[in-house]
Structure 1
């Protein structure tokens, strides 16, 4: 049986740290918490929960802080978490089983990461490198949105970690760090350009965001980021009332990968907005058919959303039987969803 070091970096996580650490006690052989400057009881609670707590002088570099936590690990494998991550009982049991039976030749175990940006929202699910063999010397890279370049034997598991953020302590932090990097003429990786663009976009700086997305797309980046950048570019252009540029941005994604559900839905909405219902229905149908997961997508984009929009398209095309069928299919996915409740009277009226 392998042994596991759980490694974390934290700052002012008093509301959630106990919840997080209670999720790992069943499989962790040691818990290492690196505090980057908490002013609350985060460190005291972590020690109370059995963690080894050390400090790291924060220098606007997440990779450096995570590498500091990894350097203190002593067990066979390292499992990283954020303080606002949660592992439910089902996935705790899966982790215990993995610990019991993992082939030591495995270097990296990928796990699902479910991120909900608001309570009750459908989470975005994607894979992250989560359990790493310590002897491989894996190293975090990137001051912001840090990542690890994986290598060796990789196992893809269905274990899911849920990211449940309660409070955003400093919503301007990431943009501020990027701006400092630019002021200091620090080189940007393609990944840096992508996330810099997203921060600009999130802060309403659309013109600068568009320029940063274009800079990213002119380089060799991860295909998941390229697809997301095309989608984000389309949204930026729509907010600028530049519909043609928005459509071109969506279509541009096809040069990187086969159509994803998110892009197909976006094109469907583009045609729906101009009441081209047959064209819109075509693209929502393509969203249902897409088997490719393009990075930051959620499950509703593959089933519920295109089903509901197909119902609406066929309603306006006066193909009532198809409209009702697609509405019932969407309703079966989320019977109490606000969009189902809002639209149901229209389809009941058609039945009447």
Structure 2
């Protein structure tokens, strides 16, 4: 089976090479559709052997992606953005999966590096070169609508899922979002779409979540509720709608409703790693309500789902500290800083619990590490912590 890598790009000289190189060992061709670059994007793509085509950008991602598909010659298509890259471990799984006859599309697990909320998402980026597969929606373009139509006519096809992390996405780091003004572009495109598709659950979820993030809480909650009420959302979307409502109700101060929506999200039958954000946020709310045992259970679930989730270990440590279980809290904080050596708050709280169990030497070492890390990003906190240690006579 011939596999084609398909990318649309504009001014991506800083990330494109890494993206292409991450997949070159398993793809047979690389197609890059350039939408108006004025930097070295086109030259980089050509130097790496890509077939480059030009397209005038019209503020519609689905139109651009469909244009790119016109030039693909492979039996299967892998779609990546320039700020994404394949993980080394997933390549053999992809090769094995596309050799199977039953699949028309395979969903891939994407790690959202730097995402403040959901660190993982499932994306439909690997699919057969089928004449009826096309992207829809101007932003967050997806092929799912066309695949559903195909399955209604050709029911023998199946949709597959790879549960290993396949894609690393750096586009949601704070610096990337600010640089590209992504939120503004997304909002404009989706607002234009929803005028004509007011009950579309996918855009209700995406735009509603964006409104919540931007502080338009009433509008966001209304859209998310509308998406649920449409009764057209699949399981993945139902999880997302409830999850965003959990965030929305938290921000308006209705903690009970927020808890109920996180619990509803967790009940959805999606792969466990997608529930990481819901369990983590639920733990925070339960802790704020004083239900430390339930909060502990929620945070323990995050560390079972993803043992490398440093935030989960940190939050578990905070809960154990509040419960007076200092030895267990120390273990959780130590795991957090082992996973993230720059986790200043974890070092700081590790210092607190070491002090509570009487190990002043270990406490001071942890506090000094926290001060060193805070000085890089939060000098005010570094000064406050240093002053506190001086007042206690520790330094």
Query: TM-score, normalising length from structure 2?
Result: 0.72
Q: Deviations over 1:36-82 (max 9, x none)?
A: 23233322332232222222333332122111111221122111111
Find out whether 1:57 has 2:56 as its counterpart: yes
Shift of 1:111: 3.1
| In structure 1, C-alpha distance between the alignment counterparts of 2:39 and 2:333, rounded to whole Å | 50
Q: Structure 1 residues 48 and 335, CA, compared in 2 at 3 Å: closer, same or farther?
A: closer
Note if 1:103 corresponds to 2:99. yes
Question: Which residue among 112, 127, 137 is the counterpart of 2:109?
Answer: 112
Tell me which of 250, 253, 257 is aligned to 2:262. Answer: 250
Secondary structure of residue in 2 paired with 1:47: helix
Tell me the equivalent position of 1:268: 283
Partners of 1:336 and 1:15 in 2: CA distance: 25
Alignment check: 8 A CA contact 1:269 1:280 kept: no
Which SS does the other structure have where 2:208 is aligned? Answer: helix
- Counterparts of 1:25 and 1:115 in 2: how far apart (Å)? 22
Q: Distance in 1 between matches of 2:337 and 2:217?
A: 36
Q: How does 1:45-194 map to 2 (within 5 A)?
A: 45-87=44-86, 90-91=88-89, 95=91, 98-99=94-95, 102-105=98-101, 106-117=103-114, 124-135=119-130, 137-149=132-144, 150=147, 152-157=157-162, 158=164, 160-165=166-171, 167=176, 168-171=179-182, 172-182=184-194, 185-194=196-205
Once residues 138 and 97 of structure 2 are traced to their aligned partners in structure 1, the CA distance between those partners, rounded to angstroms, is 35
User: Greater RCO between the two (CA within 8 Å, min separation 6)?
Assistant: 1
Indicate the SS of the match to 2:23.
Answer: coil
Deviations along 1:68-121, one digit per CA (max 9) or x if unpaired, are 111221122111111111235x34xx5368548952514334433222136xx8
Structure 1 residue aligned with 2:377: none
How much does 1:155 deviate? Answer: 4.5
Any gaps of 5 or more consecutive residues in structure 2?
152-156, 359-395
> CA contact under 8 A between 1:311 and 1:327: conserved in structure 2?
yes
Q: Which runs of 5+ in 1 are unaligned?
A: 294-298
CA shift, 1:312, in A, is: 3.0
> How far apart are the structure 2 equivalents of 1:64 and 1:187?
21
What does residue 154 of structure 2 align with?
A: none
When the two structures are aligned, how many residues end up with a matched partner? Answer: 336
2-structure distance, mates of 1:142, 1:101: 27
Matched, 1:351 2:357: yes
Kept in 2: contact 1:281–1:309 (CA 8 A): no
Query: Given the superposition, is the C-alpha separation of residues 195 and 18 from structure 1 closer, same or farther in structure 2, using an over 3 Å criterion?
Result: same
Q: Which residue of 2 aligns with 1:296?
A: none
Q: 1:313 to 1:97 in 2, by over 3 A?
A: closer
